[in-house]
Chains A and B, each alone.
Chain A
Amino acid sequence: MRCGDFKENYIDDEEIFPSPFTKFWLALFLIFLIAFPFMANAHLLYIANMIGFAVIGAVGLNLLTGFTGQISLGHAAFIGVGAYTSAILVTRYGISFWLSIPLSGLVSALAGMVIGIPSLRVKGLYLCIATLAAQFIFGFTFVHWESMTKGITGIHIPPPAVGSFQFDTEKSFYWITLLFVILGVGYARNLVRSKMGRAFVAIRDRDLAAEIMGINLFRYKLSAFAISSFYAGVAGALWVSFLKVVTPEHFPFILCIQYLAMVIVGGLGSVIGSIFGAVFMTLIPEILNVLSDMVKSYAPGMAKMIIPFKQVVFGSMIVGFLIFEPRGLAEIWSRIKKFFTLWPFSY
């Protein structure tokens, strides 16, 4: 009898989901995702959509920062470029939502490549500052290019539709979000185990040796920026289509930091880590909201204190993660998996 998970050919050994066991749990999770909208209320579905957009954005940022090692503080700007592109294409040029999504991804990728040009010369903190410029340049453009973006009044976007069916509720939009999340995560997971993904990690770990292997640093760094920004653009376009409005206030600098925090808390250089990070960063504030409402109902006098206290708890949780689990939620996940591979007969 086989006791353990043994591989008999290379195809099995290179699988993403290596055992029937993982496939079973994945299928169960998919069934849960499909059943979810029929069980949840509108607020929960709203959060689920938000998590979806965050997952797409975070996977994109992780490809750039976690895998390729190029820190970017311009992610919110790329999300904004995608969002505005989609909004303008749909409202002004009458292009369908479905076509506007890949187009906004492409425009965003182009913006990302331009901002990524300094990455050949500068690394680390210096690159941080160079990408920070993107945030301010695009932020300024969103506000002041009024003929296109309508400035601070923003653009109202009609909901996406197929025939006469409109995706205008949390529940119907959930399916669009789910589709793009699955596509985005699947693509990223495959990319990182093929030629290009390996080149990304090589650049992060040792760019000198990467060059000896024949990796054109400039080309691959720009590709990383392009792919990452493509994700950001798609996330932004979906997000504002869901909200049905886009204004410059949607893309503040703090959004970049939030995405970086997702990637770091989740686990740098891990696709599943970005998902954990996105869920964590979206869900925890909501849970804290619920908890603080409960406390408020018990002790109404403390209401004033509780609102700022939420931020303190959230902040300390992030710091706690960095101290106790610097490699992120993905590391906890892999420990759990390791524990169960031999359970209950581990020795």
Chain B
Amino acid sequence: MTQPVAEEIQLQVEEIHLSFGGLKVLAGVSTSVKKGEIFSIIGPNGAGKTSLLNCINRFYTPDRGKIIFEGQNILKLKPHQLAALGIARTFQNVELFKHMTVVDNIKLGHHVHLRSGFLSGGIYYGKTRREEMALRKEIEERIVDFLEIEQIRKSVVHTLPFGLQKRVELARALAMKPKILLLDEPATGMNLEETEDIARFILDINEEWGVTIILIEHDMGVVMDISDRVCVLDFGVKIAEGEPAEVRQNEQVIKAYLGQVDLTYSRLGA
């Protein structure tokens, strides 16, 4: 919707099966995300959206299937190796380092790009000092300024309200210099104004930084407005995928969200 999207596929999910004991969470989900697009995953609660992100993140190991990121099967990697590939993420319930300041949290996002070791770090002179200063400058001038969090940069994270914590988490993810950014309900618990801010940030990140975005969101206004494509999950199965306008018209989607069409009408008394 926003800019011409390249046709190059960046992330490909092939036939992912995931189950916990007898519970099938994902039953053969396949989809693909193109480079530079905003790809939304929607679906009712318990549809397996977050589980799918957790698979991409390697928190969960699927029973079967493949996840290919830029030609590499990432199911062979460990979670901590994904950061270096350029996969960043935010969480539904904010997973920040609560006792650190905002700036330190953002600095941690840059972890994999720093070179100093335990010796040079402990001496903190020359290379390490220059590296830390360059990092601070980049954080302040690119990220803090962009996300408008200047006034809280020295605050300890757990003292901040939820809306700001979500923004700090986004900042930390950006510090990872990601190629693809997984956002798990970034607008949850926000008022209208904050939601608009977040939507604006997501669009800017996508356009100015050229980051592919995978978005899970329950706010249909946000999803339908900013997504290039939408994928709908229900009970671990993909029931629809396409441009927002198509998906909105899809009967199966309406059924998943509202129940049977005639049932809905009968409930409404029509």
Asked if A and B are interacting partners, one says yes
What's the A-B contact tally at a CB cutoff of 8 Å? 105
CB pair B95 A190 closer than 8 Å: no
Which residue of B112, B124, B136 is within 8 Å of A190 (Cβ)?
Answer: B124
Q: Which of A43-51, A141-149, A198-206, A314-322 contacts B (4 or more CB under 8 A)?
A: A198-206
| Per-position binary interface string of chain A over residues 8-28, scored 1 when its CB falls under 8 Å from any chain B CB and 0 otherwise | 001101100000000000000
Report which residue of B111, B137, B172, B176 has the largest number of chain A beta carbons within 10 angstroms of its beta carbon: B111
CB pair A214 B99 closer than 8 Å: no
| A193 at the binding interface (Cβ < 8 Å) | yes
Chain A hits for B79, CB < 8 A: 211-212
CB pair A201 B133 closer than 8 Å: no
A11-B133, A190-B124 in contact; A206/B109 too (CB < 8 A)?
no
CB pair B84 A194 closer than 8 Å: no
| A256 at the binding interface (Cβ < 8 Å) | no
For the complex with contacts A202-B97, A213-B111, 4 further pairs of A-B residues with Cβ separation under 8 Å are: A194-B116, A209-B91, A214-B84, A215-B80
CB pair A205 B97 closer than 8 Å: yes
| B30 at the binding interface (Cβ < 8 Å) | no
| Per-position binary interface string of chain A over residues 178-208, scored 1 when its CB falls under 8 Å from any chain B CB and 0 otherwise | 0000000001101101111111011011101
| A216 at the binding interface (Cβ < 8 Å) | yes
Which residue of B59, B96, B104, B136 is within 8 Å of A198 (Cβ)?
Answer: B104
Chain B hits for A279, CB < 8 A: none
CB pair B95 A209 closer than 8 Å: yes
| Per-position binary interface string of chain B over residues 31-66, scored 1 when its CB falls under 8 Å from any chain A CB and 0 otherwise | 000000000000000000000000001010000000
Chain A hits for B111, CB < 8 A: 195, 198-199, 202, 213-215
| A269 at the binding interface (Cβ < 8 Å) | yes
Q: Chain B residues in contact with chain A, CB under 8 A?
A: 57, 59, 78-84, 88-89, 91, 95-100, 104, 107-109, 111-112, 114, 116-118, 120-124, 128, 132-133, 136-137, 140, 172, 176
Alpha-carbon distance between A209 and B82 when the two chains are bound, in angstroms: 12
CB pair A206 B98 closer than 8 Å: yes
Q: Chain A residues in contact with chain B, CB under 8 A?
A: 10-11, 13-14, 187-188, 190-191, 193-199, 201-202, 204-206, 208-217, 223, 227, 269
CB pair A194 B176 closer than 8 Å: no
CB B138 to nearest CB in A, in angstroms, measures 10
A11-B133, A187-B122, A190-B121 in contact; A213/B116 too (CB < 8 A)?
no
12 A-B residue pairs with Cβ-Cβ distance under 8 Å, sorted by A, are A10-B137, A194-B121, A194-B124, A194-B128, A198-B100, A198-B104, A198-B111, A209-B96, A212-B83, A213-B176, A215-B111, A269-B99
CB pair A195 B121 closer than 8 Å: yes
A10-B133, A212-B83, A214-B176 in contact; A196/B118 too (CB < 8 A)?
yes
Chain A hits for B82, CB < 8 A: 212, 214
Report which residue of A202, A211, A213, A227 has the largest number of chain B beta carbons within 10 angstroms of its beta carbon: A213
CB A201 to nearest CB in B, in angstroms, measures 6
Alpha-carbon distance between A202 and B109 when the two chains are bound, in angstroms: 10
Chain A hits for B59, CB < 8 A: 208
Alpha-carbon distance between A215 and B113 when the two chains are bound, in angstroms: 11
CB pair A193 B112 closer than 8 Å: no
CB pair B97 A206 closer than 8 Å: yes
CB pair A198 B128 closer than 8 Å: no
CB B21 to nearest CB in A, in angstroms, measures 22
